[in-house]
Amino acid sequence: MSIFDASGHEQVVFCHDPESGLRAIIAVYSTALGPALGGTRFYPYASEEEALTDVLHLSEGMAYKNAIAGLDHGGGKAVIWGDPGVDKTEALLRAYGRFVESLGGRYVTACDVGTYVEDMDHVARETRHVSGRSPESGGAGDSSILTAFGVFQAMRAAAQHRWGAVDLAGRTVGVAGLGKVGRHLIPHLLEAGADVVACDVDPAAIGRTAANHPQVRLVADADELIASGIHIYAPCAMGGVLNESTLKTLDAEIVCGAANNQLAEPEVAVELERAGVLYCPDYVVNSGGVIQVADEYDGAFDFKRAERRTLGIFATTARILERAKGEGTTPVAAANAIAEERIAAVGRLQRLR
């Protein structure tokens, strides 16, 4: 997308607060389903152009994620341009919160790369339109427990589609990334009787996994992981991991993981299909996080209610895979179509209210 092409977006706001040094961009892609919801990324972009390109792309993605998760939220996202380790201060976060407030609820923010629950606590001192706060401040806290639960549900749906049964017993699952989501996913897999192979670049994450789950086979890196006879590949670290090179060595029949933006290029979805790999769209699989964040914003957070909604990822994934099969298209194309249909149908009703 060209940086000058924000024509699909409802609103793009450039925020500048010289006193705190805040430079941020808030992008509202769509409010057709409700207030645009999406996190704030705090990242040292090389240029404002790069920050703008990222926020336009991410906010559009959130419209699809929120729509397919069945939420009454449109898609939005924000980026703060800076180094979180150096530039993040209470003053900056509060200045940012005032910009969010100035949009009057059209945009609701939460955590993303480089922002944490304690940051949202600061933002919340300036605006009500924030979620992902700490439990001490009345928020739901870390969303990775439900994100991992949702990944597990999507995996069961994919197993049913591919092998005719949700059962993961005897299947080997490769988990790349043992951070917040990966570490919560592993107990679900072990409990389901799966064999787990895993890797991480961080020795502390490896050590923690070895201590807590000695039955997990740890390998050096993701290259070794994907070629180690796994049935399911669960990318739970960085984006862009599905590319031409990984396609050559990927053993798995199913890819289903939490990482955002797993496809290096959109065309990789077609390549995976051709190679007989069932790819579960990342934004569907990892929507447990935003389901939690929406639950916190829409009312007093109720873990059980959010968990029940996250359980719905099983049915959503099954529906997407069935539709893709029926229409001879990729699961990504099927998921996008379902999201667009909901935005068109329900968005029209919303405006009538």
Q: Where are the alpha helices (DSSP H) in the chain?
A: 48-68, 84-87, 90-102, 117-123, 144-163, 180-191, 203-212, 222-226, 244-249, 268-274, 282-285, 288-298, 303-327, 331-352
Q: Is 178 in the site for ligand NAI (CB under 6 A)?
A: yes
DSSP calls for 198-242 = EE-S-HHHHHHHHHH-TTSEE-S-HHHHHTS--SEEEE-S-S--B
Answer yes or no whether residue 61 interacts with ligand NAI by CB under 6 A: no
Over the window 89 to 128, marking each residue x when it contacts ligand NAI by CB under 6 A and - when it does not, the resulting string is: ----------------------------------------
Residue of 200, 253, 273, 295 interacting with ligand NAI (CB under 6 A): 200
Measured between alpha carbons, how far is 150 from 170 in angstroms, rounded to an integer? 21
Asked about 180 being catalytic, the answer comes back as: no
Is residue 202 near ligand NAI by the rule CB under 6 A? yes
String of contacts with ligand NAI for each residue 133-152, x by CB under 6 A: ----------xx--x-----
Per CB under 6 A, 236 contacts ligand NAI: yes
Minimum Å distance from CB 215 to ligand NAI?
Answer: 19
Output 72 or 202, the one with its CB closest to ligand NAI.
Answer: 202
The partner residues of 263 in beta bridges, in order of sequence, read 242
Kindly state whether residue 181 participates in binding ligand NAI, applying the rule CB under 6 A: yes
289 near ligand NAI, rule: CB under 6 A: yes
Nearer to ligand NAI, 34 or 177 (CB): 177
Buried b (16+ CB within 10 A) or exposed e, 141-178: bbbbbbbbbbbbbbbbbbbbbbeeebebeebbbbbbbb
Q: Is 62 in the site for ligand NAI (CB under 6 A)?
A: no
Nearest distance, CB of residue 165 and ligand NAI, angstroms: 27
Pairing of strands 22-30, 74-81: antiparallel
Closest-CA residue to 139 (of 161, 117, 122): 117
Tell me which residues are annotated as active site. Answer: 77
Kindly list the residues in this chain that would bind ligand NAI in the complex (CB under 6 A). Answer: 143-144, 147, 176-182, 199-202, 205, 222, 236-239, 258-260, 286, 289
